[in-house]
Amino acid sequence: MAEFEFVLSNGEKIPVIIQTRRGARNITLRPKTRPVREIHMSRPWLASNSAALRFLESKRKWVENIYATCPQKCALGPGDEILIFDLRVALVRDASRRSNAFVQNNNGTYTLIVGGGADMFERRVRDFIKSEFLKRVKEIIRTTPREFWPARIAVRDTTTRWGSCSTTGTMSFSWRLAFAPLAVMRYVVMHELAHTKHMDHSAEFWATVRELYGFGVERAKRWLTQNGGELHKWF
């Protein structure tokens, strides 16, 4: 059990674990958001715990931002609803099924029927979302000229980058964009496709993004900046 706590401005108490390291010259700070929310610190032998805590307090703005953009995880279970790809989806478990079923209801909503045991429920929901996300990314890419298409597409679970484009032609995307509006997801895809021509963020790069995306680039970009942290609250 941690001996110290760091209280965020919203009242959440984050355990602080301080270790003393031989040979260390400085106090180091490492906030963790998963699998548990903790702050790990190390200090030299001659530095006190009080000095370490003062150092932590001096970095409050940075630490607060990390936990604000990576909110506490919310568990998902049968009966819950999630919003993915602009679709409202009810989650149902049917233990007799060996696979999932995605059903459109008469009222325009959707139901994801999840098979298997209760202990596999969240994992099966997550795997379904990741699989659907990859399909939709490919569909978006196919709407653009072939010269922008990547050599390979990878699905990641990153906390700081929504997408990336390597010089080898591989594009990676965070599957958590599935929880964002489709317009925002499409913006990230177009952003990375533009990097096939401009590996920077020059005026020419942004002109290419706008050419690929069309009207509304700034609105999609602003939404992601303001709401991106909420995309990490599940799983």
pLDDT recorded at residue 195: 97
Residues 88-99 pLDDT 10s: 999 999 999 999
pLDDT score of 221: 96
**What pLDDT, on the 0 to 100 scale, is given for residue 1?**
55
What token pair was written down for 222?
């602003």
Q: Rounded mean pLDDT of 71-100? A: 94
Could you tell me which residue, 61 or 2, shows the higher pLDDT?
61
Mean pLDDT, rounded, of the chain: 94
**Domain 81-232 CATH superfamily:** Metalloproteases ("zincins"), catalytic domain (3.30.2010.10)
Local structure of 126: helix, strand or coil: helix
> Average pLDDT, stretch 64-69?
87
Q: Please write the tens of the pLDDT for every residue from 9-49.
A: 999 999 999 999 988 899 999 998 877 899 999 999 999 99
Lowest mean pLDDT among 54-58, 77-81, 107-111: 107-111
Q: Percent of the chain at pLDDT above 70?
A: 99
The sign of the dihedral angle between the CA atoms of 216, 222, 228, 231 is negative
Q: State yes or no: pLDDT of 70 exceeds 90.
A: no
d(CA 93, CA 95): 6
Buried b (16+ CB within 10 A) or exposed e, 135-154: ebbeebbeebeeebebeebe
Question: Which comes out higher in pLDDT, residue 227 or 193?
Answer: 193
User: What per-residue confidence (pLDDT) applies to 108?
Assistant: 87
| DSSP code at position 34 | S
Across 165-183, average pLDDT: 96
- pLDDT (tens digit, 9 = 90+) per residue, 103-152? 999 988 999 999 999 999 999 999 999 999 999 999 999 999 999 999 99
Closest to 79 in 3D by CA, of 37, 111, 105, 42: 111
Share of the chain above pLDDT 90, in %: 83
> What is the pTM assigned to this prediction?
0.78
Whether pLDDT at 69 is above 90: no
Please state the domain extents for the chain: 4-69, 81-232
